[in-house]
Structure 1
């Protein structure tokens, strides 16, 4: 919309946006509402948006019933190492591809982007047998090590941001006698904070919500992550109420919401800036 857009059209657009926001936000509201209901309130007609009475016991039950404390710690361990690996490896590779001229650079970059079109289901079985040959099944290694190998999406995101920065920054630093690693650490990493924040949010969400990877590689319950804990909880439907399941869903969802809210400004800035220059 521009300043010249007629007021009636602006109002219609805002109404559509508000309606869309309500539709998108309502499932989250219903999840929180259900998690605070008693067993009797679940069957109340009409359904209650604001539970009466409010029951926080569902969170205590889910926390103790399926060892959510352990699952939460496991998820944070995986997310912590995944974020370190993804941010460091992608930043190094993106800096090299963006700043250095060498033979075959374009081919490497295009080949890397082409891997984004390969469905994960295609490589799932071969990758499983590779980890099996290394004897790393039922460990966190298959979930952590790939993040240190620089993913194509992260490289592309940071590459586009670095390319949008003035080339004179690198040239001036070289004239001043700074080495390429020094330029990377002292100049480009601080300037790439918005793009790194965006990649960090994507990495956190991907690792935190990853269900298929832990489901394939982890067999011991003590190694389960929160998504696997939720699957285990859902399989106990006969002995667990819907309110307890929703309490588990709230616990699983809150860290993602909190991370996005904290890094929202940098996230939006990083996403917007990466499209400035190709």
Structure 2
């Protein structure tokens, strides 16, 4: 009986937490479908009456959200390719090869996870400025082709969980290390790659500080910058802001729901072996 009560309390707390997290999203969707005056009504009107679908059309067309969506999609695809390839290559090398200073280098890489990104923000800005690459996508794209500590660690843990005999058998069959990586290990890393893809997608899609610092041309703006631009317009009401926020949020929710199984499997499997 005590166990049943304990489980019931846990489930109630989980349900209460889920509702608390879902309510802001519900209000955002509701506000995006209201007229300008209905948003500020008290008590709040959860079901819009009338429903104003035109808010999405106004945001999509008049504020160039279509162009911002294309820019965001382009950056996300390139950053995904760079992150997955570079992190997988480094993790493969660290997991299966022994070389001098391997452990210190690995620990130094992990130590970068403790550094807030604000610490390197100003030096990075001046480095890209010295290269004359401000107001371009290079500062946002290039770092993703140089690996990342979190992604390398995630894939390293997954590869270490695979039997070492797999690599030895492939060598005996005549495969070279690049061939072993592409043909054998990369397909086996799909769960971990899926988890890293979700993390990378969310980070790249919602990235605001990077584009805000490096981009000045409105034609290069991403969706988060478009929303900031929309917010800075004094003539724009809250319902249009919420419509823009819904447009940005929907792809993130959709990607997570589609890749949820692989995401959970990838996160769980990376802890099998240290």
Partner of 1:84: 81
SS for the counterpart of 1:6 is helix
**What is the Cα-based RMSD across aligned positions, in Å?**
1.1
Structure-2 separation of matches of 1:241 and 1:101: 60
Partner of 2:246: 250
Q: For 1:154-193, what aligned pairs fall within 5 Å after superposition?
A: 154-193=151-190
1:41 and 2:33 are equivalent in the alignment: no
1:267 and 2:260 are equivalent in the alignment: no
Deviations 1:150-169, CA, capped at 9 Å, x for gaps: 01110000000000111111
**Which stretch of the first structure deviates more once superposed, 246-255 or 164-173?**
164-173
Deviations 1:93-143, CA, capped at 9 Å, x for gaps: 000000001111111100100111122111111111111111100000000
Offset of residue 40 of structure 1:
3.2
The structure 2 residue matched to 1:140, chosen from 137, 142, 149, is 137
1:27 and 2:14 are equivalent in the alignment: no
1:120 and 2:106 are equivalent in the alignment: no
SS for the counterpart of 2:163 is coil
Structure-2 separation of matches of 1:173 and 1:14: 48
Task: Give the ranges of 4+ consecutive aligned residues of structure 1 lying more than 3 Å apart after TM superposition.
Answer: none
Q: Do the aligned partners of residues 243 and 164 (structure 1) sit closer, same or farther apart at CA in structure 2, a change above 3 Å counting?
A: same
Task: Provide structure 1 residue ranges, at least 5 long, that are not aligned to the other structure.
Answer: none
SS for the counterpart of 2:37 is helix
Offset of residue 175 of structure 1:
1.1
Structure-1 separation of matches of 2:106 and 2:135: 34
TM-score using structure 1 length = 0.96
TM-score using structure 2 length = 0.98
Partner of 1:231: 228
Report how many residues are paired. Answer: 274
Partner of 2:99: 102
Offset of residue 53 of structure 1:
1.4
Q: Do the aligned partners of residues 45 and 123 (structure 1) sit closer, same or farther apart at CA in structure 2, a change above 3 Å counting?
A: closer
